[in-house]
């Protein structure tokens, strides 16, 4: 294990180094809910994180820390998570208090629409989605992002910006991604294997790898709200 502002557990296998047009990166990005066992090269993971480091932040605070689980460590985290999930252990995320708010009508409507369309897409196989979460999507690489517990709310925005940059960079290098709250449900498991200090809050986990093309669940793509429902441009007083 070595530290590069990042904690990595070493693995090998070369990823794709050619780059895509940005419009193609955006068009092809979507959540991958089942990965193959194909290994991802550490070289590719490091390049992705180096590119994500270009993310802007409030006053250049760069509050994020990155911990990467690969190989046996990723397997151990997935196994421990599955055991806790199947035992119905109550999640206790570091950001738990943020998850207990009452959602406004607008995002609630969007989430309900996704739930309905996903159920229809899977046609009675909705347990496939739950199983994917329990198994942490079989992600061969899991990137955990933290911020100091002594952080302003703005640092959470910075963490989100870093997450999106990281996912776009990964997609640009031929990797698929899965950002999910499921990864951080049991922070004690993550700390057990990655030695994350108690004064850091584990905000999000992002799975990296290659998609299982035989998995129906990977073909689902959620729709976006029409632009005229979210955009307002005003020119005249």
Query: What is the reported pLDDT for 74?
Result: 98
pLDDT at 224 over 50: yes
In this structure, the strands spanning 6-8 and 65-70 are: parallel
232 assigned to some structural domain: no
Mean pLDDT, range 200-215, rounded to an integer: 95
Range of the domain at 128: 2-220
What are 96-144's pLDDT values in tens digits?
766 666 767 766 776 666 666 656 555 655 567 789 999 999 999 999 9
235 assigned to some structural domain: no
What are 18-61's pLDDT values in tens digits?
567 888 888 888 889 999 999 999 999 999 999 999 999 999 99
Query: What is the reported pLDDT for 15?
Result: 42
236 assigned to some structural domain: no
pLDDT at 12 over 70: no
Closest CA to 181 of 190, 192, 168, 171: 190
pLDDT at 148 over 90: yes
What are the strands, taking DSSP E only, across 57-175? 65-70, 141-148
214 assigned to some structural domain: yes
Percent of the chain predicted with pLDDT > 70 = 81
Mean pLDDT estimate for the chain: 86
Poorest-pLDDT segment among 10-24, 55-69, 94-108, 188-202: 10-24
The CA-atom distances, in angstroms, between 37 and each of 121, 223, 225 are 25, 28, 34
- Total domains in the fold of the chain: 1
163 assigned to some structural domain: yes
In this structure, the strands spanning 65-70 and 176-180 are: unpaired
Question: How many CB atoms within 10 Å of residue 148?
Answer: 14
pLDDT band at 161 (very low <50, low <70, confident <90, very high): very high
145 assigned to some structural domain: yes
Tokens of 38: 């194909």
Query: What is the reported pLDDT for 14?
Result: 38
pLDDT band at 219 (very low <50, low <70, confident <90, very high): confident
- Quote the pTM value: 0.84
155 assigned to some structural domain: yes
131 assigned to some structural domain: yes
Kindly report the CATH number assigned to the domain that includes residue 155.
Answer: 3.40.109.10
Query: What is the reported pLDDT for 13?
Result: 33
């Amino acid at each position: 294990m070595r530290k590069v502002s990042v904690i990595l557990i070493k693995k090998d296998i070369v990823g794709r180094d050619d780059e895509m047009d940005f419009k193609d990166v955006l068009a092809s990005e979507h959540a991958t809910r089942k990965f193959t066992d194909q290994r991802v090269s550490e070289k590719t993971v490091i390049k992705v994180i180096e590119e994500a480091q270009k993310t802007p932040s409030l006053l250049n605070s760069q509050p994020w820390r990155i911990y990467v689980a690969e190989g046996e460590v990723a397997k151990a985290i997935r196994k421990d998570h599955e055991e806790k999930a199947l035992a119905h252990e109550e999640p206790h995320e570091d950001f738990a208090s943020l998850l207990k708010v009452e959602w406004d009508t607008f995002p609630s409507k969007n989430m309900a629409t996704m739930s309905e369309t996903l159920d229809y897409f899977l046609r009675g196989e909705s347990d496939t989605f739950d199983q994917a979460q329990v198994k942490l999507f079989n992600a061969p690489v899991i990137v955990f992002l933290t911020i100091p517990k002594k952080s302003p709310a703005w640092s959470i925005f910075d963490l989100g910006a870093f997450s999106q940059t990281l996912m776009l960079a990964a997609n640009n290098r031929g990797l698929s991604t899965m950002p999910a709250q499921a990864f951080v449900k049991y922070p004690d498991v993550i700390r057990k294997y990655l030695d994350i200090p108690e004064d850091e809050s584990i905000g999000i986990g992002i799975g990296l790898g290659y998609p299982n093309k035989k998995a129906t669940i990977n073909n689902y793509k959620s729709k976006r709200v029409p632009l005229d429902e979210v955009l307002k441009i005003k020119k005249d007083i």
